[in-house]
Structure 1
Amino acid sequence: MDTTTLTALALYAFVMTITPGPNNLMLTTSGLIFGMTRTWPHILGIPFGVAVQLAAVGAGLGAVFALEPRIQTGLKLVGTLYLLWLAFKLWRAAEVSDASLAKPVSFFQAAAFQFVNPKAWLIAVTVIAAFIKPGETYVAQLLLTSVMFTVIGIPCLAMWAAFGAGLRQVLHDPSKLLLINRTMAALAALTAGLFWL
Structure 2
Amino acid sequence: MSFYLPLVLFCVSSTVTPGPNNLMLLISSIKFGIRRTFFHYLGICLGFPFMVFVIGLGLESIFASYPKLHLVIKVIGAVYMIWLALKIISSSSYSDEKNSKPLNFKQAALFQWVNPKAWVMAIGVISTYTVISNNISLFFQVVVISIIYMIVSFFCTGFWLFGGNLVKRILSDEKHLKVFNLVLGLLLILSIVIMIFE
Q: Within the alignment, does 1:67 sit opposite 2:94 as a pair?
A: no
| Aligned match of 1:110 | 108
CA contact (8 A) 1:90 1:185 kept: yes
Cα separation, 2, equivalents of 1:79 and 1:57: 17
Cα separation, 2, equivalents of 1:98 and 1:190: 27
Pair 1:145–1:43, CA change in 2 (3 A) = same
| Aligned match of 1:175 | 175
| Aligned match of 1:162 | 162
The one-letter code sitting in structure 2 at the alignment partner of 1:142 is V
Per-residue deviation, 1:68? 1.3
1:42-92 residue CA offsets vs partner (Å, 9 max, x unmatched): 111113222221222122110111111111211111111111111122123
Q: Within the alignment, does 1:32 sit opposite 2:30 as a pair?
A: yes
1:81-111 residue CA offsets vs partner (Å, 9 max, x unmatched): 1111111221232111144531111111111
Greater alpha carbon shift after TM alignment, 89-98 vs 70-79: 89-98
Cα separation, 1, equivalents of 2:11 and 2:196: 23
The one-letter code sitting in structure 2 at the alignment partner of 1:74 is V
CA contact (8 A) 1:42 1:105 kept: yes
Cα separation, 2, equivalents of 1:145 and 1:99: 40
Unaligned runs of 5+ in 2: none
Per-residue deviation, 1:193? 2.4
Cα separation, 2, equivalents of 1:121 and 1:35: 28
| Aligned match of 2:19 | 21
The one-letter code sitting in structure 1 at the alignment partner of 2:182 is R
TM-score w.r.t. structure 1 length?
Answer: 0.89
| Aligned match of 2:76 | 78
The one-letter code sitting in structure 2 at the alignment partner of 1:23 is N
Please give the residue correspondences for 1:131-150 in structure 2 after superposition, counting only pairs within 5 Å: 131-134=129-132, 135=134, 137-150=137-150
CA contact (8 A) 1:27 1:43 kept: yes
Pair 1:196–1:142, CA change in 2 (3 A) = closer
Percent identity of the aligned residues? Answer: 34
CA contact (8 A) 1:87 1:185 kept: yes
| Aligned match of 1:49 | 47
| Aligned match of 2:128 | 130
Aligned residues: 195
1:115-137 residue CA offsets vs partner (Å, 9 max, x unmatched): 11122112222222222234553
Q: Secondary structure at the match of 2:196?
A: coil
Unaligned runs of 5+ in 1: none
TM-score w.r.t. structure 2 length?
Answer: 0.89
| Aligned match of 2:152 | 152
1:142-178 residue CA offsets vs partner (Å, 9 max, x unmatched): 2222111111111110111222221112221222222
Greater alpha carbon shift after TM alignment, 140-149 vs 60-69: 140-149
